Structure 1
Amino acid sequence: MAKIPRPEYPRPQFVREDWLNLNGDWQFEIDTGDSGLARGLLNRELSGKIRVPFCPECKLSGVEYLDFMEAVWYRREVTVPESWGDRRVQLNFQAVDYEATVWVNGREVGRHRGGYSPFSCDLGFGRDLGGKATIVVRARDPRDWAKPCGKQSMIYENYGCHYPRTTGIWQTVWMEPVAPTSLKRPRITPCLQEKQFRIDQHLVNPQAGWKIVAVLKDSHGDVSRAEVVTGGDFASTLILPVPADRLRLWQPGDGQLYDIDLSLFAPGGELVDHATSYAGMRSVSIDGLKVKINGKTVFQRQVLDQGYYPDGLLTAPTDEALMRDITLAMRAGFNAARLHQKVFEERFLYHADSLGYLVWGEYGDWGYRQGTRVPSTVVDGYRHQPAAAMMTQWLEVLERDYSHPAIIGWCPLNETSQSIEDYMTTLDDVTRGMFLAAKLVDNTRPVLDSSGYSHRVAEADIYDCHDYSQDPAKFAVQQSGLAADDPFQNGRDKHWSIPYRGQPYFVSEFGGIWWNPKAGEKDFSWGYGERPKSLDEFYTRFKGLCDVLLDNPKMFGYCYTQLTDVFQEQNGVLFFDRSMKFDLAKLHAVQSRKAAIETLEA
């Protein structure tokens, strides 16, 4: 039997023992004109095959087709375990780009729009499936739709900072059986001041008289236990206290985690559902210009991570590759990452949680502005509204990732501008709506309305800029205004942003130093500024730029561009294949000294 690609459990913070990984070979066919439904693709064998969960554009899929694909089709027959007969079968997709329709045994069971967030299809009771589930998926990704697609190229070839597209399934597909009344994913909130975890636990098909039990554990055994008998409420709250002698803080470089067992009992005492989770005890707070972790000022030495891979594009080839990206970044002296223009696989967040690696959750909004002079596009006779779709997807992302301790901030948008007058109001609505969504879902983390360029929400928790000046002296002058509470703003002369009002401030993109000694004179590549003439010149420039920000007592952090080269953009601290470009110990030495804002700790 062929080895299953990406065999690990894909939802690490809500784990059930009984599940079936559906990665591997599927039937596959490209639907050039999106006419497959009319041509009968739903009810026949498909002409090719693909290796799921890798997208058809990438090498690991076995297809490696790089042209536009209006739609693609997948088909697979699955044997449903007989033991699932009395439970409802859930078919789960971690991510499909961009619009998915799913049929099982000829019946439509679900639709979903959005390339980054997971969705599930309820297939009914296992006994009613007849032991077999023939799964058919159509994924549509039309080139003329205005849709959030991150760094995916909107023309055939790569250009600028845009790379090959991702179409269709690009994360794990899997099935699990659940009881008719069952646990939903919990919302776990660490409350450091009270020394307790709060669990908001929702149920599917809630009923009165059912008991939910939560048990907190560490390496020494049970720490605390809480239970509640439901009254048919939509959500129940359980409090898990942590005694002082069992308190372990989650902090940068030290991902201390507690395990959590969750059980659901029917009124007669029968165990009907069980899942495991985990949590980290930490707080994120703002004190003037400082951003604190567990009450301590931590200068955020972020690296911009785009999460691309030479052979898998948006999909990491292995789970180990996700963890290795984090460990390499930490070896270079970064304690944090900006997860840029992509919602990362949840397995990445699991490794960040385990390693104590700070991350900012972001949404891949680029592409939304495609065709922005027309606020919507016509699809099947209806109006496709990218702004509404973005809001839904962002809420799905917030729900998925709320409980991960590694996430210390949210940023829904990147480099928005007010340069096209006839869509400024729409953009303001989107910016404010996505900011408010994050604040309503999560009041425990700071939210930045947009990274760089147009800041449009007065009550945003953070203010920032992007500055790719390559001369440290000029960079220092450009950033010197923060001392007088008048920091550098992108598009200041165009009045893109509302005024700065004293929030914590950082440069969320800088550096991007162009360096690739392997490239010949005729090889196309780019980075910011002129290429250094030697390694020593690179190290000098890197240190000079970092020092400007480390020495600024009002700067709470920075984000260096970037972790790896990505195709033609060759300004990473690693080559695209993650081989060594620089001496990481030298980069670590530059970044490891205390920043000025850290020395001001009271």
Structure 2
Amino acid sequence: MNIPRSEYPRPQFFRDSWQCLNGEWDFAFDFGKSGKDRGYFKPETKFDKKILVPFCPESKLSGIECKDFLNSVWYKRTITLTEEQLKNRVLLHFGAVDYYCTVAINGEICGSHKGGYSSFCFEITKYLHVGENTITVNAVDEQRNGKQPRGKQCGGYYSAGCDYTRTTGIWQTVWLEFVPEIYLKSVKIITDYKNNSVSFTAKVDGESSNMSLLTRIFFEGELQAEKEVSLNCGSTPYSMTVDNVRLWEPGNPNLYDVEYILYVDGKMMDKVQSYFGFRTVTLENHAIYINGKPVYQRLVLDQGFYPDGIYTAPSDADLKRDIELSMALGFNGARLHEKMFEERYLYWADRLGYIVWGEHANWGLDITTYESLANFLPEWMETLERDFNHPSIVGWCPFNETWDYNHRRQDDRVLYTVYQVTKAIDSTRPVIDTSGNFHVITDIYDIHDYEQDTEIFTKRYAAVTKDEVYETFPDRQRYGGQPYFVSEYGGMFWAPYEKDGWGYGKAPEDEKEFANRYASLTKALMDNENICAFCYTQLYDVEQEKNGLYTYDRKQKFSPETYELIRSVNQAVAGIEKKK
């Protein structure tokens, strides 16, 4: 049996010593959340179903395809380990489990994690023995209680509006990593193209009085620089200089490979492969600059849903293909919408020179109380740390459209605190507090506007200046002179191939009207030098929402002529780029 999604799940921090645990697991529903009482953590307990990990049980690819609310589910599998694999330390990694996960090894609970989108791991060395070992996973997922971010997972039984099929339990790769007693835990990278320098902060796990780290930087296989530094227990900052810097830019993704070799008492202990790009984001002259140049962000909304896998791409190639489909239409990036995407997607964005905004899946979480921070902030911080080094990420957006919850307004302290924590962890990128509404403190001022009348839309955005902008909620938020971004627009319904579905506004009468409307709406935003970016809704249809530029299964919806028009409109020189 082929193992699904068997590629290395963390390409920015690669070790040879790993084992993919995707594939067939035993599985059980636990609708009454009584599995623990019934002894489900015991290795000898039998489950009555099989599931294909990493696909969620709601998906067709999982082999289960149960789309009801699954408040609790259980997984189990047996692994066989050798004496060689157990001579040091063993880490059990989960790409993502929705939502509250508890793990047992051979009947003993080794850890738990809260958060349906962030990656996590447990050291399980002390629970293992040579030969057969049993891993048991319980995932509890109560999406309707207002206490967890669920993103675009539907809160009703049927998918409706812009909410779609739910995801429960394991939905990203599960894997083992075999590491030495002292190992390199992480390295944080900040590049400075103006000074030809790269700053690193290395963290080790384990203690010794005599540790050093050799860092070697390569470009296209040629050694560019190397440096060995003595390490502290915990973290150690150091810098290196690289001559003749090649920049990472949209469409021109120059990447440097890095090799880290950890020595303890002069003996090589650990070796990790990584990469980085020289890419600096600044806000200047009412625009977003990348490496000192204004870059108009021609973005498309990408929700990360798949017909057969729901939240999980069927293959690594599908992740890459979504980016290629976007770039083929002249987009240079995406808003990764209401979902923290997996690292393999970001890897392809890095490799292809595709810019993205990282966003949490905040919908479903009641943020009218300050207590919601406990259910939001830890998971968000985990992802900020995990994804910090990806040059493709040019900004963070923790919240999207923070509508009133049961007629109660957001607690502004929640947005303010999350913004400040985000900036404290990452001062190198701009942060949008909440895309669309309702802004509290933000580096970029964005709005959503699904007006379909091209005359109204054109007049509206021709009037935007540095001082006066179109405001969607003047009674709830106030523009403060930031760069201005229309981060959702368009969303035109087009599905002559189906009877059902919806999109924003009145659907075009024919394909020609669709093309003309796309051109007019987009040109209105690109022509104004006081608008720094757009994001069109959306790249592909998702279930009943039929406003994509491709179908849900990524097939073409339009004629080659329409796609060529979209591409030519997107690739035109924007007003903000004419100022450079």
Q: TM-score normalised to the size of structure 1? A: 0.93
More moved, 19-28 vs 360-369? 360-369
Q: For residues 455-482 of structure 1, what are the alpha-carbon distances to aligned partners after superposition, in whole Å with 9 as ceiling and x for unaligned?
A: 111xx21101000001111112333442
Match of 1:83, SS state, is coil
Deviation at residue 105 of structure 1 after TM alignment: 0.7
Match of 2:544, SS state, is coil
Deviation at residue 220 of structure 1 after TM alignment: 4.1
Checking the alignment, whether the CA contact within 8 Å between 2:86 and 2:125 is kept in structure 1 is no
More moved, 176-185 vs 5-14? 176-185
Q: For residues 36-90 of structure 1, what are the alpha-carbon distances to aligned partners after superposition, in whole Å with 9 as ceiling and x for unaligned?
A: 1111222201110100000000000000000011100000001123322221110
Match of 2:458, SS state, is helix
Q: Does 1:266 align with 2:252?
A: no
- Which one of the candidate residues 435, 447, 455 is aligned to 1:465? 447
Match in the other structure for 1:437: 421
What is the alpha-carbon distance in structure 2 between the residues aligned to residue 30 and residue 220 of structure 1? 50
What is the alpha-carbon distance in structure 1 between the residues aligned to residue 172 and residue 112 of structure 2? 17
What is the alpha-carbon distance in structure 2 between the residues aligned to residue 220 and residue 344 of structure 1? 29
**Paired residue total:** 574
- Which one of the candidate residues 357, 362, 374 is aligned to 1:388? 374
What is the alpha-carbon distance in structure 1 between the residues aligned to residue 405 and residue 66 of structure 2? 35
What is the alpha-carbon distance in structure 1 between the residues aligned to residue 273 and residue 38 of structure 2? 45
Match of 2:401, SS state, is strand
Checking the alignment, whether the CA contact within 8 Å between 1:513 and 1:531 is kept in structure 2 is yes
Match in the other structure for 1:411: 397
Match in the other structure for 1:251: 249
What is the alpha-carbon distance in structure 2 between the residues aligned to residue 421 and residue 149 of structure 1? 19
Matched ranges for 1:508-527 at <5 A = 508-520=487-499, 523=500, 525-527=501-503
CA distance 1:446–1:515, change in 2 (3 Å): same
What is the alpha-carbon distance in structure 2 between the residues aligned to residue 360 and residue 591 of structure 1? 19
User: RMSD value over aligned CA atoms?
Assistant: 1.5
CA distance 1:436–1:333, change in 2 (3 Å): same
Q: For residues 290-336 of structure 1, what are the alpha-carbon distances to aligned partners after superposition, in whole Å with 9 as ceiling and x for unaligned?
A: 11111111110000000100000010000000000001100011001
* Letter in structure 1 aligned against 2:427: N
Checking the alignment, whether the CA contact within 8 Å between 1:216 and 1:240 is kept in structure 2 is no
What is the alpha-carbon distance in structure 2 between the residues aligned to residue 314 and residue 169 of structure 1? 10
* Letter in structure 2 aligned against 1:559: C
Match in the other structure for 1:504: 483
Match of 2:116, SS state, is coil
Q: For residues 146-196 of structure 1, what are the alpha-carbon distances to aligned partners after superposition, in whole Å with 9 as ceiling and x for unaligned?
A: 210100001100011000100000000000111121101211111111112
Q: For residues 362-420 of structure 1, what are the alpha-carbon distances to aligned partners after superposition, in whole Å with 9 as ceiling and x for unaligned?
A: 11100103xx67x59xxxxxxxx543121000000100100000000000000014576
Match in the other structure for 1:597: 576
Matched ranges for 1:37-52 at <5 A = 37-43=36-42, 44-52=45-53
Match in the other structure for 2:356: 359
Q: For residues 240-290 of structure 1, what are the alpha-carbon distances to aligned partners after superposition, in whole Å with 9 as ceiling and x for unaligned?
A: 21112xx211111111111000111112x1111111000011111111201
What is the alpha-carbon distance in structure 2 between the residues aligned to residue 509 and residue 319 of structure 1? 27
Match of 1:326, SS state, is helix
Match of 1:453, SS state, is coil
* Letter in structure 1 aligned against 2:433: D
Checking the alignment, whether the CA contact within 8 Å between 2:490 and 2:521 is kept in structure 1 is yes
* Letter in structure 2 aligned against 1:240: M
Q: TM-score normalised to the size of structure 2? A: 0.97
* Letter in structure 2 aligned against 1:187: K
Deviation at residue 437 of structure 1 after TM alignment: 1.6
Matched ranges for 1:104-119 at <5 A = 104-119=105-120
Matched ranges for 1:137-216 at <5 A = 137-146=137-146, 147-216=148-217
Match in the other structure for 1:397: 383
Q: For residues 494-550 of structure 1, what are the alpha-carbon distances to aligned partners after superposition, in whole Å with 9 as ceiling and x for unaligned?
A: x211x2121111100000011011012xx2x00011111111110000000001001
Q: Does 1:556 align with 2:532?
A: yes
* Letter in structure 2 aligned against 1:439: K
Runs (4+) of structure 1 exceeding 6 A deviation are: none
What is the alpha-carbon distance in structure 2 between the residues aligned to residue 50 and residue 547 of structure 1? 48
- Which one of the candidate residues 297, 301, 319 is aligned to 2:298? 301
Match of 1:591, SS state, is helix
What is the alpha-carbon distance in structure 2 between the residues aligned to residue 53 and residue 345 of structure 1? 12
Deviation at residue 491 of structure 1 after TM alignment: 2.0
- Which one of the candidate residues 520, 535, 542 is aligned to 1:566? 542
Match in the other structure for 1:350: 347
Match of 2:125, SS state, is strand
Q: For residues 108-132 of structure 1, what are the alpha-carbon distances to aligned partners after superposition, in whole Å with 9 as ceiling and x for unaligned?
A: 1110010100110111258x52333
Checking the alignment, whether the CA contact within 8 Å between 1:482 and 1:488 is kept in structure 2 is yes
Match of 1:145, SS state, is coil
Checking the alignment, whether the CA contact within 8 Å between 1:214 and 1:238 is kept in structure 2 is no
Match in the other structure for 1:382: none
What is the alpha-carbon distance in structure 2 between the residues aligned to residue 141 and residue 412 of structure 1? 21
Deviation at residue 210 of structure 1 after TM alignment: 0.4
Match in the other structure for 1:576: 552
Match of 2:289, SS state, is strand
Match in the other structure for 1:14: 13
Deviation at residue 423 of structure 1 after TM alignment: 4.9
Match in the other structure for 2:332: 335
Identity among equivalent positions (%) equals 43
What is the alpha-carbon distance in structure 2 between the residues aligned to residue 15 and residue 419 of structure 1? 42
What is the alpha-carbon distance in structure 2 between the residues aligned to residue 422 and residue 220 of structure 1? 57
Match in the other structure for 1:543: 519
More moved, 181-190 vs 305-314? 181-190
- Which one of the candidate residues 428, 447, 451 is aligned to 2:435? 451
* Letter in structure 2 aligned against 1:283: T
Deviation at residue 432 of structure 1 after TM alignment: 1.1
Match in the other structure for 1:217: 218
Checking the alignment, whether the CA contact within 8 Å between 1:85 and 1:125 is kept in structure 2 is no
Checking the alignment, whether the CA contact within 8 Å between 1:198 and 1:240 is kept in structure 2 is yes
CA distance 1:506–1:100, change in 2 (3 Å): same
What is the alpha-carbon distance in structure 1 between the residues aligned to residue 406 and residue 470 of structure 2? 22
* Letter in structure 1 aligned against 2:312: T
For structure 1, which runs of at least 5 residues remain unmatched after alignment? 377-384
Match of 2:525, SS state, is helix
Match of 1:33, SS state, is coil
Checking the alignment, whether the CA contact within 8 Å between 1:27 and 1:74 is kept in structure 2 is yes
More moved, 96-105 vs 41-50? 41-50
* Letter in structure 2 aligned against 1:416: T
Q: Does 1:286 align with 2:283?
A: yes
Checking the alignment, whether the CA contact within 8 Å between 1:288 and 1:503 is kept in structure 2 is no
Q: Does 1:85 align with 2:69?
A: no
